[in-house]
Every structure is written in C-alpha cells, then in structure tokens.
A = this chain, B = another copy of it.
Amino acid sequence: MPDDILLPEIEVHDLAFAFLRHHGLSAAQSEAMARVLTRAQRDGCLSHGLQRLPGTLETMAHPAFNREAEPKLARVTPAVVSVDADHGFSILASSAGIPALVDSARRLGIGVLAGRNGFHSTALWPQVEDIAAQGLAALSMNPTHDWVAPAGGVRPVLGTNPLAFAWPRPGRRPYVFDFATSAASRADIALHRQQGRALPEGWGLDPGGRPSTDPAAVLDGAMLPFGGHKGSALATMIELLAGPFLGDRTSRQSAAFDAGHRAAPCHGELILAFDPGLLGGPEHHAAAEEMLDAITDQGARLPGARRHAARDKAGREGIPVSRALHRRILAMMAG
C-alpha cells in the first residue's frame, strides 16, 4: 500500500474545513485556512499544507486567540490599507485586504497592505501569486519569533522572517519566490532531530553560542541567517518594516506575547503591490520575459518550478496526502 492517498482538491479542502469547524473556528476563518492549506498541499509545499492542521489546535488554545475574529479593514491613506486580524488567523484578514491593496496599486502605482494582530501559520506565496494573477507585482514579508542570531552574534534576536515576491508574466504563470531569511526552516531542523541526522554546517549555534550540527542544541540555541551578514541585514529590515512600521510586534515581542503557548506567531504582515503598467510598456515586459527565459534556457530553475510541476501532477492524478496524516486528522475529529 503506498504511503500517500490521492484525493480530489475538493476533498482536501473539505477535510481541512471540517477539521477547523469541528474545533470551533468560524466558517469564514475555516474557509480561508482550508483554501490556503489545500493550495500548499496541492503544490507539494507539504510543510504548509494539511500538516499544519494539528498545530492549529495549539494556536486556537492561546488565550488571545479569537475563533470568531472578524477582520477590521481601514483605509489609512489612499495608498495604505490596514487590516486588523482581530487575533484570529492572519490569512482571512490579509485576504480581505487584497482587493483594497490592488485598488491602491492600480490608482497610484503602489499600494501597501498592513496586516496586524494575526496568528500566522500559512505560506506567503499564495497571496503574492494571487496579486500577480491580477497583473501586479507583489512583495510580502513578516517577522516570526526570535529564533535567529544576527551574523556575528551568539543569541537569537531575529525571526526566520520570510520574504515572498511575485511578478506577473503575460500568458504564463507568474514568477514567484518565497524564502525564509534563516539558513534553514525551523521545521527542517526539527525533521533532522526526528530522523537523528546531523545538520549541515552553518545552520545554527548551540545554547553557548558555538557553531553546532546537533539539531536539538540548535533548537535550544540559535538558528543562523542565510548568506551571512547580508541575510542578517535583510532579516533585520523585515523586523522593522513588518513590525514597527506596521505598528505591530517584532519577533522578540511576538515570542513574548506567545508566553510559551506554542501557538503560531502573532504579528504583522506587510504586502506591497506594484503596477508594472504604470511606467513600463510592452517592450519592458518583453525584456522581463527575455531575462527570465535566459535563466531557464541555460537549465537553471525559477523558484516556482517545483510547485508548478506538483500542481500539474495533482490536477491529473489528485492531491497526495500522507495516509498517516490523513488518519491522524480524522482521529482528531472523532468523538
């Protein structure tokens, strides 16, 4: 018997929706979460797929979590829309703000979505991809918890602070990337621990601030940024722009707010949208295509290629879901 079962997209969605409703999450939040988890599962981005469902219970158990949260949208300036997630999951709030963000970018050439007070446990790429599907470029970032030491440092200060970007391509899927500014994800380090494998050099420090390849020591100590002082600088920028600039928490503050509940980090999320049609004409869009083609023509991959391949396969065969995870989710809904 294979380890995975293949499910139609609607079944994956309905399973996630039913799980979240069963555990008391509002219909609107359950729907937004089910959609984004299904997309990640479909695109082979398993760390942000159905695997996130069991952990939602820890997040919903945080004393500040609001199962009935309703996003509060405010037009701050013609360029800036703010959406307070009302201490629910961030995905419903940021989704609710995207139409106003798109509207700003179409009118002004740029728009800012300031998401606030959301428990964040979903990938950034689905939303920048959605914005690119409307013909705009998008850049998104958020802090997490203070798990990462700055370059040259020994103690954690920064989050794993992801950065995602999308650029629309006429008649093709958009160019999309989404990466953590830590050398590796926390989930990847935890997986090494589970499998009893040593980490590659450069992923982290032990609690004494010494370089370590022991996953348990690194999880107790500090992760490291990717790319040395440059990645560290980028992670610091994300702390500032997706924290204080939004009037929301740094990764240190988000961890303090969690207070050991092991909930998803509660913080802000910045999305910028840019209209490539404002200053650029068809010849500039053609030059963008030519540049991207020059990357793939030499055999290098664009960041979204693996997701697109998984998406195409899932469209033909159904979405693979680990049998063990499927059983676990069903068991957590029994009784």
Contact = CB atoms under 8 A, between A and B. Distances in A.
A157 B291 contact: yes
Q: Is the interface of A mostly helix, strand, loop or mixed?
A: mixed
A114 B292 CA distance: 22
Nearest to A291: B250
B226 A230 contact: yes
Contacts of A292: 236
> Copy number of this protein in the oligomer?
2
Interface string A89-116: 0000000000000000001111010100
Contacts of A139: 237, 241
Interface stretch (A16-24, A60-68, A294-302, A307-315): A294-302
A83 to B, nearest CB: 12
Given A240-B288, A243-B287, A300-B151, A278 B80 contact: yes
A325 interface: no
The bracket for how many chain A residues form the interface is 35 or more
Contacts of A73: none
A134 to B, nearest CB: 15
A171 interface: no
Given A137-B240, A226-B230, A279 B245 contact: yes
A46 to B, nearest CB: 19
Contacts of A78: 78-79, 108
B177 A281 contact: no
Given A77-B109, A109-B77, A157-B295, A249 B279 contact: no
Contacts of A251: 291
A236 B76 contact: no
Contacts of A287: 243-244, 249-250, 252-253
Nearest to A275: B245
Nearest to A114: B279
A227 interface: yes
B276 A244 contact: yes
A257 to B, nearest CB: 12
B278 A76 contact: yes
Interface in A117-155: 137, 139, 149-155
A326 interface: no
Contacts of A284: 243-245, 247-248
A295 B272 CA distance: 27
Contact of A243 (B152, B253, B288, B298): B288
Interface of A: 76-80, 82, 107-110, 112, 114, 137, 139, 149-155, 157, 163, 165, 167, 175, 177, 179, 181, 226-231, 233-234, 236-237, 239-241, 243-253, 272, 274, 276, 278-281, 284-285, 287-288, 290-292, 294-295, 298-301, 303
